[in-house]
Amino acid sequence: MNSHDKPAVVLLSGGLDSTTTLAIAKHEGFSPYALSFAYGQKQDIEIGAARRIASLLGVAQHHVVTIDLALWGGSALTSNIPVPKDRSEADMEHGVPITYVPARNTIFLSYALAWAEVLGAFDIFIGVNAVDYSGYPDCRPEYVAAFERLANLATGAGIENKGRFVVHAPLMKWSKAEIIRRGLSLGVDYSMTHTCYDPKGELACGHCDACQLRHAGFVAAGVPDPTRYV
Amino acid sequence: MNSHDKPAVVLLSGGLDSTTTLAIAKHEGFSPYALSFAYGQKQDIEIGAARRIASLLGVAQHHVVTIDLALWGGSALTSNIPVPKDRSEADMEHGVPITYVPARNTIFLSYALAWAEVLGAFDIFIGVNAVDYSGYPDCRPEYVAAFERLANLATGAGIENKGRFVVHAPLMKWSKAEIIRRGLSLGVDYSMTHTCYDPKGELACGHCDACQLRHAGFVAAGVPDPTRYV
C-alpha cells in the first residue's frame, strides 16, 4: 500500500459483491478502511469471511461493528421468519423480498460516513447491484445518489469547504457474471467469500435467492463455482 | 392513548429539545415510539432522563439502542477531547463545534427509519433546531429534507406504494425560548430533562455550550431555570 493513497471506507460483508468492490477500490489506488457489521444476521458466518478477506487483500484497518437489527426484526435474515428457498426468477423479480432488512444499507452507509468523516476520507464504496437482483430498494442508483447528496449536507465537510463525499457503487450496472469476471481479473479468490442467507456451518444451502443468483453468475461467467454446498 | 393514533418514531435524547418534540408529537395525535441511544457519550446520564420522560409522558414503546460511536471518536462527546467551556456567542456561531459527533443524526435517523418501516409507521420526529445554534450541519432544514427524500428511496414503502415517510422537525425555526414556552404550554416538566455535555453526577456544569444556550433560553422565556448546576 502506498502511503499517498487516498483513504476510502469500504463496506465489506464478506460476500462476492463486497469483496469484488474492495478489490476494485484497491485497484483504483485507494487505501481501504473496511467496515463490517455483526447486526444479528442468521448468516453471521460471513463476518469470519470478511475478516479473512480484509486480511488477505490488505486493508489499512478493519472494524466489525456490533449493532442489533434483530431488536425489531422485520426480515427473514434477522428474525425467525424462514429464508425462502427455490424461488423462481419470476418470483425474485416481484416486489421486495422478505430477506430485505429494513434500512440496513442506510444504517451501514451512515456508519461508513461517520468513520470517513473522522478519518478525513471522502470516498465510500458499497457493492450494491441493481441488475441481477433489483428487489432491494436500497440497492438502486437513485438511492445511492440520494445518500451521496445527504452525506454532503450531513457533515462538517460541506460547511467548512473541505471536500465532497462520493459514494462509489462500481458494481451497480454489472451482471453477476461481469462482477465475477472483474473480480477474477483482479485476483479475487471467491472460495473465501460467503453469500448464503441460510448456511449450515460453513456450507451454503444452495437454495436461497442469494445462493441461486451466485451460482447462476458462475455458470454465466463460464467458470467453476468454488462454493461448498450442503 | 387512542389506539387509532398513527404510530410515529420519536428520537428522544432526554434533553430539552427532544422532550418538547415528544410532547408535540403526542399533542398532534401520534402514538409515539421513542428511540434513544447509548452511543458512548460522556453525558450518558441523559439516557436515564430519557427513560423517565418516556415513562411519564407515555409512549407506546421505548427502545434504548446501544451503539459505539466512541469506537472512532472524533468528537468531544465521544473521546478524551475536553468539552469547551464558557465560549462566547460569537465563538459558538463560528464553524462546526468540536462537540459535533460525525454523522450522529444520520445514524439516529437511519435507525428510526428501520424501526418505522418494521412498525409500518411513516412519521419520524427529531428535535433539531437551526436557530439558536446552527453550528451542527445535521440540524439544518436542507439536511432534514435530504434525509426525508432518502427515506422514501431507501425503503420498500416507495416501491410498494404503501405510503410516504415524513421527517418532522417541529422545532427547526424556533428560538430556545419559543421551544420552552411551547413545552410548558404542553405540560413538560423541564426539571426532568438533561442537557449538559459534561455533567458531574446529576448536576449540569453550567459552562458548556449546551448549558449556556439552555439557561439563556429560560432567561429569554422569562421562566425560572429548573436545572440543578454544580
Specify if B161 maps to a domain. yes
From B69, B114, B137, residue closest to A158, measured CB to CB: B137
Q: How many domains does chain B have?
A: 1
Q: Give the residue from B150, B155, B162 with the most A CB atoms within 10 Å of its CB, the best one to mutate.
A: B150
Residue B169 confidence class, pLDDT cut points 50, 70, 90: very high
Is A61 among the domain residues?
yes
Rounded Cα–Cα distance for residues A79 and A101 (Å): 10
Q: List the helix and strand counts (H, then E) for chain B.
A: 8, 5
pLDDT tens across B46-91, in order?
Answer: 999 999 999 999 999 999 999 999 999 999 999 999 999 999 888 8
Q: Which amino acid is at A54?
A: A
A96-105, A128-137, B66-75: least confidently modelled range: A128-137
In a domain, A138, yes or no: yes
Distance CA A148, CA B56 (A): 39
The residue of chain A nearest to residue B112, with distances taken between CA atoms, is A103
Specify the amino acid at residue A86: D
Say if the Cβ atoms of A66 and B68 lie within 8 Å.
yes
**Would you call A156 and B110 a contact, using CB atoms and an 8 Å cutoff?**
no
CATH code, domain with B55: 3.40.50.620
Tell whether the torsion through CA atoms of A10, A14, A17 and A19 is positive or negative: positive
Show residues of chain A in contact with B147, CB under 8 Å.
150, 154
Phi and psi (nearest 5°) for B64?
Answer: -110, 110
Nearest residue to B151 (alpha-carbon basis) of A133, A143, A97, A113: A143
Domain residue limits at B61:
6-221
| pLDDT at residue number A3 | 45
pLDDT of residue B132: 67
In-domain check, residue B227: no
**Is A146 among the domain residues?**
yes
Confidence (pLDDT) at A131: 81
Q: What is the pLDDT of residues B7-36, one digit of tens each?
A: 999 999 999 999 999 999 999 999 999 999
Q: Picking from B93-97, B125-129, B215-219, which range would have the lowest pLDDT averaged per residue? A: B93-97
A38 phi/psi in degrees, rounded to 5: -95, 100
- pLDDT of the residue at A94: 80
Q: Which residues in chain B have their CB less than 8 angstroms from residue A103's CB?
A: 110-111, 113-114, 117, 154-155
Query: Residue A57's closest CA among A37, A28, A32?
Result: A32
Instruction: Flag whether B30 is in a domain.
Output: yes
The answer to whether residue A104 neighbours chain B at the CB level (below 8 Å) is: yes
Q: Work out the angle between the directed axes of helices A104-119 and A141-154 (0-180°, nearest 10).
A: 40
Q: Are A202 and A45 in contact (CB under 8 A)?
A: yes
* Kind and range of the H or E run holding A7: strand A6-11
B90 lies in some domain = yes
**Does a structural domain hold residue B104?**
yes
ipTM beyond cut 0.85? yes
Percent of chain B surpassing pLDDT 90: 87
List all residues of chain B from 168 to 227 with a beta carbon under 8 Å from chain A. Answer: none
pTM of the model: 0.96
Task: Compare all CA atoms of chain A with the CA of B141 and give the residue at the minimum distance.
Answer: A153
